[in-house]
Amino acid sequence: MFPRVILWAACALASISPAADKPNILLIVADDLGYHDVGFQGSKDIPTPHLDKLAAQGVRCTNGYVSHPFCSPTRAGLLTGRYQHRFGHENNPAWLPESTQDGLPLDQITLPQLLKQAGYTTGHVGKWHLGAHPQFHPMKRGFDESFAALGGGHVYFPGAKGGPEYQIPLNRNGVDEAQKGYLTDQFGDEAAAFVQRHAEGGKPWMLYLAFNAPHTPLQAPQERIDQFKHLPDMNRRIYAAMVSVMDDNIGKVMSALATTQQRDNTLVFFVSDNGGPHLAVKGNGMTNFTDNTPLRGAKGALYEGGMRVPFLVSWPAKLKPGVYDQPVIALDFFATAVAQAIAAMPSDRPMDSVNLIPHLNGETQAAPHEMLFWRSQGPNGLHAARMGNWKYVALPGQAPELYDLAADVGETQNLAATKPEILSRLQAAIADWEKGTIAPIFESPKQGKPKARGKKKAD
Break the chain into its structural domains and give their ranges: 22-360, 380-434
Q: Active-site positions?
A: 71, 129
Helix (H) or strand (E) holding 124: strand 121-127
Distance (Å) of CA 391 to CA 114, 328, 374, 395, 423: 34, 14, 11, 13, 9
Taking the chain (459 residues) in runs of 10, the rounded mean pLDDT of each run is 36 38 96 98 97 98 98 98 98 97 98 98 98 98 98 97 94 97 98 96 95 97 98 96 98 98 98 90 65 97 98 97 98 98 96 98 97 97 98 97 98 98 98 98 71 42
The three-state (H, E, C) secondary structure of 28-53, written as one string: EEECCCCCCCCHHHCCCCCCCHHHHH
DSSP H helical segments within 260-390, as ranges? 304-307, 332-340, 357-360
What does the alpha-carbon distance between residue 191 and residue 124 come to, in Å, rounded to a whole number? Answer: 8
Residue 226 is given by DSSP the state G
What does the alpha-carbon distance between residue 270 and residue 245 come to, in Å, rounded to a whole number? Answer: 16
Helix (H) or strand (E) holding 382: strand 382-387
What does the alpha-carbon distance between residue 334 and residue 130 come to, in Å, rounded to a whole number? Answer: 17
Task: For the chain, report the end-to-end CA distance as a whole number of angstroms.
Answer: 22
pTM score, two decimals? 0.92
Q: Which CATH number fits domain 22-360: 3.40.50.720, 3.30.300.130, 3.40.720.10, 3.20.20.140?
A: 3.40.720.10
Asked if residue 402 lies in contact with residue 391, where contact means CB atoms within 8 angstroms, the answer is yes
* Helices (H) then strands (E): counts for the chain: 11, 18
Closest Cα partner for 71 from 151, 182, 156, 161? 151
DSSP H helical segments within 268-414, as ranges? 304-307, 332-340, 357-360
In three-state secondary structure terms, 179 is coil
Which CATH fold would you assign to the domain 380-434?
Answer: Arylsulfatase, C-terminal domain (3.30.1120)
Asked if residue 95 lies in contact with residue 152, where contact means CB atoms within 8 angstroms, the answer is yes
* Phi, psi torsion values for 31, nearest 5 degrees: -120, 110
- Provide the pLDDT for residue 44: 96
- Provide the pLDDT for residue 200: 87
List CB contacts of 447: < 8 A, sequence separation 6 or more.
none
Determine how β-strand 24-30 pairs with β-strand 266-272: parallel
